Structure 1
């Protein structure tokens, strides 16, 4: 057999093995995780009502399989140390299913890939329920397309207000804020933001706090 043929066979074998190596099998490490994996707990609402703390991203992935993650923002952190200039990457990731669940996480690392992985994991752990409804006096329908009432949230120097809007208006919001609202499941809403909204860390925290109030106050 020629060296070229051997290399081709080796490449085919590598391609066959690669997908298996990339598959992640979740092994529960907590009692709550074991209950979810065994089927004793079948919904995230059960965990929220019991007040148990979720410490594994695998729990969220198991109970909300339709959850999608999206990188919202990436940046570089540079600072001077005794050994010279230190450079790290920062990533913000949002996780939502477009139907009443949203989480936002942040990760930092010397490698961009690891920073995104950390942010991804944190976003799963921060997933919160959002109560959708129609709080607009102009609409008054029974569909879940907006927020049920006016909500206000603060994160750092940023404050965000979300007001119910009539069906068909769409999302009146900036690019990244609009995308977060879409991941949460909102289709129509007015938004007002105060402060430095270019700082996505504060903006995402303010928005998540805003949306959490629809559930806690509803």
Structure 2
């Protein structure tokens, strides 16, 4: 006599747990002014030369900022008690409209390292001046850099040249992602040195973009 096997109902997939973000409690004088609505834009902070010491300030004034993990790895060191391993992470934060920051973090846990890198990326957010510096285009839209800029980080040298509208970002994958986060749509780039080292490459790119304000 054959026994009919009863099919079990498929298990429902559980949604991944999302840790609730703790509400921001400002601790600095600048943070309290931002939370109270006294300061409502990043331009006011830069115009007065104020120092940002809380990531919550950036999140409040730039709610459209998004983060992207651009590099992860491990650091192993020898101690009297044996080998110790730590994780390191690098995160970029940008709103694709004129702001970019890059931060690093280390911890025994990868998740904590990414959280530290994210916080540092917020604190390092800098304005990027967009424009059209291409003689082939000469439009009035902010799709590229206003002029050629050059930045150095370690052994890496990066140069960003204005490009006409519609060309796109002529750059390597990692550099292209950073430029896109900053808000650039069209640009030529050249990179020399050990570009595989993301630490140096990201510093060179960030220095380039900061020069759009310092030189402009």
TM-score if structure 2 supplies the norm length? 0.91
| Alignment partner, residue 7 of structure 1 | none
Gaps of 5+ in 2: 1-14
Q: Could you tell me how far apart the structure 2 residues matched to 1:117 and 1:181 are?
A: 22
Q: Could you tell me how far apart the structure 2 residues matched to 1:82 and 1:162 are?
A: 47
Higher helix content, 1 or 2: 1
| Alignment partner, residue 23 of structure 1 | 21
Q: Could you tell me how far apart the structure 2 residues matched to 1:150 and 1:35 are?
A: 37
| Alignment partner, residue 149 of structure 2 | 151
User: Offset of 1:65 from its aligned partner?
Assistant: 0.3
User: Offset of 1:103 from its aligned partner?
Assistant: 0.3
Q: Could you tell me how far apart the structure 2 residues matched to 1:23 and 1:155 are?
A: 34
User: Offset of 1:24 from its aligned partner?
Assistant: 1.8
TM-score if structure 1 supplies the norm length? 0.90
Q: Any runs of at least 4 consecutive aligned residues in structure 1 with deviations exceeding 3 A, and if so which?
A: none
| Alignment partner, residue 40 of structure 1 | 38
Note if 1:162 corresponds to 2:160: yes
Aligned residues: 201
Q: Could you tell me how far apart the structure 1 residues matched to 2:31 and 2:147 are?
A: 35
- Pairwise CA RMSD of aligned residues? 1.2
Note if 1:132 corresponds to 2:130: yes
User: Offset of 1:78 from its aligned partner?
Assistant: 1.1
- Between 1:51-60 and 1:78-87, the stretch displaced more is 78-87
| Alignment partner, residue 82 of structure 1 | 80
Q: Could you tell me how far apart the structure 2 residues matched to 1:68 and 1:215 are?
A: 22
Q: Could you tell me how far apart the structure 1 residues matched to 2:172 and 2:96 are?
A: 18
Could you give the per-residue CA deviations for residues 146-173 of structure 1, whole angstroms, max 9, x where no partner exists? 0000000111111100000011110000
Q: Could you tell me how far apart the structure 2 residues matched to 1:60 and 1:96 are?
A: 11
Gaps of 5+ in 1: 1-14
